[in-house]
Amino acid sequence: MKGRFALMNGARMAVVLSFDVDAEAVWIDRDPRNRDRPVVLSHGTYGPRVGVPLLLDLLARYGLKATFFVPGWTAEQHADAIRAIAGSGHEIGHHGYLHETVDGLPPAAEEEILLRTSDFLERLVGARPRGYRAPHWDLTPNSVGLLAKHGFLYSSNMMDDFVPYLHPGSTLVEVPVHWTLDDGVYFTFVSHPPRDRQIYAPSTVLSAWRDAFHAYHRHGGCFVLTMHPQTIGRPERLDMLETLLREMRETDGVWFATAAEVADYCRAEVRAVGNRP
């Protein structure tokens, strides 16, 4: 059976390794009182301080390039870590300013966040981000238009497909995602807000992601893992990720790409035949 997206650069499927470097911003956004909770903040600090160097080492050992989405505030606070990511050849994408949701924001406020973070990232790493992943995967009805207006190549937020596509009437590519391929839903647990979550064993997550990977391979899809250095960067979870990377690399017909590489390819190939393959 031919995959639905038979355009994956000659491969059956694409694999995009993406990391949202939320750091402390996600906790401050979740509850401003977390600014005065050193232990809650320390979950975030682990990301750029410990998780990022370990992930850069892992990716280098496998010769893989990934996409790191960064809030502007996090880039200001952890400039060295973000420079190290870019300096290793990985893609830097836009992930809001203080990890704020844009849900309900007027267009001008959403646009201000877009420009503020793009401007800072450009000063920091020498290139404007080409991709946008909204904090919490929230878009507004204005987001696609604003991204296109400001020259973004792609959004990585929607859940209406498992292959990339062009937004209707736009040159903006969507690199779709899903919560099942997000590490946070399996692993995130902090003392504030209330403990209402379960922490899953890495073996459980490996099983879920492995099944998904082989299904995407069978159907022909773009397998986008969304991970967080503060979450996947714990030792036992890094080992799990390495096990999965080894298995994916041993599978035929897999194109490992950054989200921008997939979007560039999609824009060039799909444009001629409509917004979806």
Residues lying near Zn ion in the complex (CB under 5 A)? 20, 22, 135
CB of 96 to Zn ion, least distance (A): 8
Q: d(Cα 172, Cα 152) in Å, to the nearest integer?
A: 7
Which one, 22 or 24, has the nearer CB to Zn ion? 22
235 CB-near residues (< 8 Å, 6+ apart) = none
CB of 253 to Zn ion, least distance (A): 31
Cβ-based neighbour number of residue 62 at 10 Å? 13
Which residue lies nearest Zn ion, judged by its C-beta? 20
Q: d(Cα 151, Cα 172) in Å, to the nearest integer?
A: 9
CB of 183 to Zn ion, least distance (A): 11
Which one, 70 or 254, has the nearer CB to Zn ion? 70
CB of 213 to Zn ion, least distance (A): 23
Which one, 174 or 183, has the nearer CB to Zn ion? 183
The tokens 């987001």 sit on which residue? 143
Token reading at 186: 């399996």
CB of 95 to Zn ion, least distance (A): 6
257 CB-near residues (< 8 Å, 6+ apart) = 9, 14, 15, 16, 65, 265
Which one, 152 or 165, has the nearer CB to Zn ion? 152
CB of 135 to Zn ion, least distance (A): 5
The tokens 């470097």 sit on which residue? 21
Which one, 230 or 258, has the nearer CB to Zn ion? 230
Which one, 137 or 152, has the nearer CB to Zn ion? 137
Query: What's the sign of the alpha-carbon dihedral 56, 197, 214, 16?
Result: negative
CA within 13 Å, CB half, 96: 22
